[in-house]
Amino acid sequence: MNTPARLGAYAAGLGVIFLAALGTGAALGAGEPRRPQPQHAEPPHTESSHAESQPVHGHSEGSADHGGEASGTVPAGLQISQDGYTLVPLTTTLTPEKAAGFRFTVTGPDGAPVTGYQVKHEKKLHFIVVSRDLGGFWHLHPEEAGDGVWTVPLTLPAAGTYRAYADFAPEGGPDLTLGADLNVPGAFEPRPLPPAERTARVDGYTVTLAGDLVPGRVSKLDFTVSKDGRPVGDLEPYLGASGHLVAIRAGDLAYLHVHPEEDTAAAGVTFAASAPSGGDYRLFLDFKHEGTVRTAAFTVRAEAAGHSR
């Protein structure tokens, strides 16, 4: 046999052996499970992992207008700085029972003092001070001293920690409530929160509350004013309405935005309020009669619908 013939026969023999090996391997592995090959790939996509990694957007029952915290929105008054605006107290020393010309400014996103404000409830800026135990409340109206500086007379009655709020809307900017702590040196003992009641008495007036705060929902609160057992039918306008209401959450002093509505009774005023969570709140109602502004204070508890009291 010549050389080409011998090579062809050898190749044919190898082919027969290879085919036989394949057949034997298939027969032996027919009953074994197939093992996956190692891969370097991303983990499989699931709805839960996607939801956790993506920011939540949109308007929901827990948004700022309906309570805030369910969607992660920080309630008003807990931050000294928000959206580029910062509350900057310029007065650093306060003495119990001593009047002080408290000075502060608000800086904008550019770092400069804000000088342009929108008028809200007849004022460019509302300045609220409460004691940490919510036993004291002062609603003040500072005056502009120039160059973005505000000044207001402030007398705090005792040592302790107080919270100050600047409630305002800069020109072209959002409605904001910024908060800062004020410290008055000296020994003090916090008082417990007054118990929840539906009536408050101040200077011979009786103010009655109807309605409940419900977490995560806009609630209506109706206040009626009476004196000597008879409804007061001639409440005088104050800050553009028959009254002005401030609501503060006990514990962290979150500030609730409330809005006056059309009066439903000659001797009363109605507000729409949003509670960011359950818990105790302190309500401060300013009303004006016979030329004097008075404040009625209430403790209320926000609970789910059907459980409020």
Which domains, ranges and CATH numbers included, belong to the chain?
Answer: 69-184 (2.60.40.10), 199-302 (2.60.40.10)
Pick the closest to residue 291 from 244, 236, 223 (CA basis).
Answer: 236
pLDDT for 176 equals: 96
pTM above 0.95, yes or no: no
How does the average pLDDT of the chain come out, rounded?
79
Pick the closest to residue 147 from 100, 88, 101 (CA basis).
Answer: 88
CA–CA distance, 175 with 76 (Å, rounded to integer): 10
pLDDT for 69 equals: 52
- The percentage of the chain sitting over the pLDDT mark of 90, rounded to a whole number, equals 61
203 class by beta-carbon count within 10 Å (0-12 exposed, 13-18 middle, 19+ buried): exposed
pLDDT in tens, the chain (309 residues): 444 444 344 344 434 333 333 343 333 333 333 333 333 333 333 333 333 333 222 222 333 333 445 445 788 999 999 999 999 999 988 999 999 999 999 999 999 999 999 999 899 999 999 999 999 999 999 999 999 999 999 999 999 999 999 999 999 999 999 999 999 999 988 899 999 999 999 999 999 999 999 998 899 999 999 999 999 989 999 988 889 999 999 999 999 878 788 655 556 899 999 899 999 999 999 999 999 999 999 999 998 765 544
pLDDT for 73 equals: 75
> And the tokens for 177?
């409530």
**Amino acid, res. 59:** H
